[in-house]
Amino acid sequence: MKKATLFGAIAGAMFVGTALAADITIYYSPSCPHCHHAREFISQTLVYEYPNLSVTTVDVTDVANRDEFLATLKKCEYESGGVPVMVVGEHCFQGYSSSLDDSIRTAIEVDMDDAAKAIAAENRKAMESDADAFRSANANRSSAIVERVTENSEGVNSKKKVTKADANWFYYGLFVVLIVSLALVLRRKKK
């Protein structure tokens, strides 16, 4: 009897992966609006629908993440470096619009068994009826998202939080460059 129980435990451990959702890695830029929408869909919807889902976010503006991002682009056979890029199991998605939601769900469910898919469908219905209440009851799911943080040679995190003020300075600088360029072009035309 003990041998059968041990064998059952080992067999169960081997096949537990079929019940799990495919993990997501999302490569994003803090200034990208499509990235913001994709991350919001993942953090406000998918992590609650799929209780076993793990999400890793990777900021491509961090130089330490550049090689990984380029390798992902190559693996996914994307020629442009546009973001977001989401890797869901073995499936890749570049860009984001709500029209991709069902395709992303399908990629998550590829290796899930019927029971896990049924749980996800029940969670989806609960989210549709009262999303705020469902999120409150399952607040622990927000920890399913992990930001990839790299360390530099001194062992210090190289992740720099980009603030709204940083982004504003970038746009102001860009605006000044455009105005100066326009002035130079207009001045040249007068001569």
The 10s digit of each residue's pLDDT in 123-181 is: 999 999 999 999 999 998 888 888 987 655 455 454 444 444 455 555 566 667 778 88
Q: What is the pTM of this model?
A: 0.69
pLDDT on residue 171 = 56
Task: From 109, 13, 114, select the one nearest 53 (Cα to Cα).
Answer: 109
Smallest CA-to-CA distance from 103 within 86, 128, 82 is with 86
Between strands 24-28 and 85-88, the pairing is antiparallel
Report the distance separating Cα 159 and Cα 150, nearest Å.
Answer: 7
User: Which one, of 94, 63, 96, 60, lies nearest residue 80 by Cα?
Assistant: 94
Classify residue 95 as left (phi > 0), alpha (psi -120 to 50) or beta: left
